[in-house]
Amino acid sequence: MRASRVAAALGARVGIAEPAKFGGTCVNVGCIPKKLFAYAAHFRDQLKEAADFGWGAGEPRFDWPTLLRNKDREIARLNGVYERVLLDAGVKIHRARAEVRGPNEVEVGGELFSARHVLVATGSWPQKPEIPGAELGITSNEAFFLEKLPRRALVVGGGYIALEFASIFNGLGVATTLAYRGARLLRGFDAELGPRLGEEMAKKGVAIRLNTDPAKLEPGLKVSFEDGSKAEFDLVMFATGRKPNTRGLGLEAARVKLAPDGAVVVDDYSKSSVDSIHAIGDVTSRINLTPVATHEGMALAKTLFGGEPTPVDHASVPTAIFANPNVASVGLSEEKAREKFSSVEVYKTSFRALKHTMGSSEEKIFMKLVVDGKTQRVVGAHMIGPEAGEIIQGIAIAVKLGATKAQFDATIGIHPTAAEEFVTLRERAG
């Protein structure tokens, strides 16, 4: 959508093929509804904390249909906004599926179109493991449309989607188990984040089972695990990875090079192995985040129609996980930094937030800075705690600009906040 709108603004004639609702994964079955669900799930903690400050409003009661109805209304509003934005930009909308027929030809709803440039931005799709009975489980796609909340839920996976939905179900009152085949949650993130987040989620009631993978599902949602144990659930959700949406698009026939997982292989300017065919977003499996995809789209439009060849910069992209508590990161993990630099300094802290000192909550905030020992540049920042995404977004600017540890130290903090800890870390932890 961003590529279409910007290209049209730069004078290109643009057509877009979309048989479903506008907004892609993010708006319909991703970031937006997930964040709305996360807000709902976090209210349970907030209501409990309110009592520590003298507030009382009786026993809270949660109504799933109300949340679902209001979520659907907001998503429908966004669908309409996105469609109007495209129409206002002069983009021609085709309500049908498209297939590539050649370097410059696309078939849409049975009609053949010629185009100087073809852009593939079809995203990705959640995958289920190849085990008996996997069809009895759901994915994140279906989780947004459950008719009723289960009493007992099993979430399978150890990545951000699994952790977010485990937190959501748990926060809404569901007895939630998280099972992951690995020994550490959040593989690919800084190694301290997964174990610490797991501890915090366990404090809130999520049963976490590491080195555990389902081997079979049977009717009645009886789950047999590979370690021989068995359990029954009312819902099993697989968050076990996503694959690029390239199947049946005609890309192979057009001689577009695909990676083993089906991703379109592109260069720094999002061009595929065929000069006229480009790809952006999750379908390229670079960094699967909505802001990255929109940035890629804008850069491509400038490259093709703005006379401004613009490579995409994927360095120091901030990201957040809306589990409970939140997690956010920007830059390099400690492990990646040690691979890249000869000398690395680490500064970190863990503490109870001021808000939690009024009650019994043992939730801990965690913050970490990773510094290149030679240049003293802060090359990574990581956090677990309330509003971590909001805080790291600001820190990301400093990391992107190459700020040094001394410049962090010279910045006066806002007191009392959790964020001030990022500019008061003085003692090295490694």
**Domain's final residue, options 305, 337, 358:** 305
- CB-CB neighbours of 139 under 10 Å: 18
Asked whether residue 183 is assigned to any structural domain, the reply reads: yes
CATH code of residue 206: 3.50.50.60
Domain co-membership, 181 together with 207: yes
Asked whether residue 198 is assigned to any structural domain, the reply reads: yes
Gap between the Cα atoms of 7 and 284, Å rounded: 20
Which tokens belong to 156?
A: 């399978």
Asked whether residue 319 is assigned to any structural domain, the reply reads: no
b/e code 16-50 from CB counts within 10 Å (16+ = b)? bbbeebbbbbbbbbbbbbbebbbebbbebbeeebe
Q: What are phi and psi of 127, to 5 degrees?
A: -115, 150
Domain co-membership, 274 together with 344: no
Instruction: Flag whether the pTM goes above 0.85.
Output: yes
User: What is each CA distance from 69 to 72, 145, 277, 301, 308, in whole angstroms?
Assistant: 5, 10, 40, 37, 45
Strand order across the 98-102 sheet: 98-102, 105-108, 111-114
Give pLDDT, residue 192: 98
Give pLDDT, residue 214: 98
Partners of residue 367 on adjacent β-strands = 349, 383
Domain co-membership, 338 together with 377: yes
State the residue range of the domain holding 9.
Answer: 2-126+243-305
Asked whether residue 429 is assigned to any structural domain, the reply reads: no
Three-state SS string over the chain comes to CHHHHHHHHCCCCCEEECCCCCCHHHHHHCHHHHHHHHHHHHHHHHHHHHHHCCCCCCCCCCCHHHHHHHHHHHHHHHHHHHHHHHHHHCCEEECCCEEEEECCEEEECCEEEECCCEEECCCEEECCCCCCCHHHCECHHHHCCCCCCCCEEEEECCCHHHHHHHHHHHHCCCEEEEECCCCCCCECECCCHHHHHHHHHHHCCCEEECCCCEEEEECCCEEEECCCCEEECCEEEECCCEEECCCCCCCCCCCCCECCCCCECCCCCCECCCCCEEECHHHHCCCCCHHHHHHHHHHHHHHHHCCCCCCCCCCCCCEEECCCCCEEEEECCHHHHHHHCCCEEEEEEEECCHHHHHCCCCCCEEEEEEEECCCCEEEEEEEECCCHHHHHHHHHHHHHCCCEHHHHHHCCCCCCCCHHHHHCCCCCCC
Asked whether residue 318 is assigned to any structural domain, the reply reads: no
Amino acid, res. 106? V
Domain co-membership, 207 together with 155: yes
pLDDT tens, the chain, 430 aa long:
999 999 999 999 999 999 999 999 999 999 999 999 999 999 999 999 999 999 987 888 999 999 999 999 999 999 999 999 999 999 999 999 999 999 999 999 999 999 999 999 999 999 999 999 999 999 999 999 999 999 999 999 999 999 999 999 999 999 999 999 999 999 999 999 999 999 999 999 999 999 999 999 999 999 999 999 999 999 999 999 999 999 999 999 999 999 999 999 999 999 999 999 999 999 999 999 999 999 999 999 999 999 999 999 999 999 999 999 999 999 999 999 999 999 999 999 999 999 999 999 999 999 999 999 999 999 999 999 999 999 999 999 999 999 999 999 999 999 999 999 999 999 999 8
Domain co-membership, 8 together with 122: yes
* Catalytic, out of 94, 295, 314, 415: 415
Domain co-membership, 13 together with 114: yes
Give pLDDT, residue 57: 79
Give pLDDT, residue 403: 98
Asked whether residue 430 is assigned to any structural domain, the reply reads: no
CA dihedral of residues 105, 107, 110, 112 (deg, nearest 10) = -20
- Catalytic-residue membership of 415: yes
Asked whether residue 317 is assigned to any structural domain, the reply reads: no
Q: What are phi and psi of 218, to 5 degrees?
A: -125, 160
CATH code of residue 359: 3.30.390.30
* Contacts of 194 by beta carbon, 8 Å cutoff, 6+ apart: 158, 184, 185, 186, 187
Domain co-membership, 174 together with 195: yes
* Contacts of 244 by beta carbon, 8 Å cutoff, 6+ apart: 122, 123, 124, 259, 261, 262, 263, 264, 282, 283, 284, 285
Domain co-membership, 8 together with 109: yes
Please check whether residue 167 is in contact with residue 198, taking contact to mean a CB–CB distance below 8 angstroms: no
Give pLDDT, residue 354: 96
Please check whether residue 396 is in contact with residue 383, taking contact to mean a CB–CB distance below 8 angstroms: no
Domain co-membership, 111 together with 10: yes
Gap between the Cα atoms of 13 and 8, Å rounded: 6
Asked whether residue 19 is assigned to any structural domain, the reply reads: yes
Gap between the Cα atoms of 354 and 95, Å rounded: 52
What's the half-sphere exposure (Cβ side, CA atoms, 13 Å) at 66? Answer: 5
The owner of tokens 């309110």 is 50
**Domain's final residue, options 210, 237, 264:** 237
Domain co-membership, 138 together with 110: no
Give pLDDT, residue 59: 85
Give pLDDT, residue 233: 98
How many folded domains does the chain comprise?
A: 3
Domain co-membership, 26 together with 122: yes
The sign of the dihedral angle between the CA atoms of 337, 341, 342, 345 is negative
Domain co-membership, 337 together with 226: no
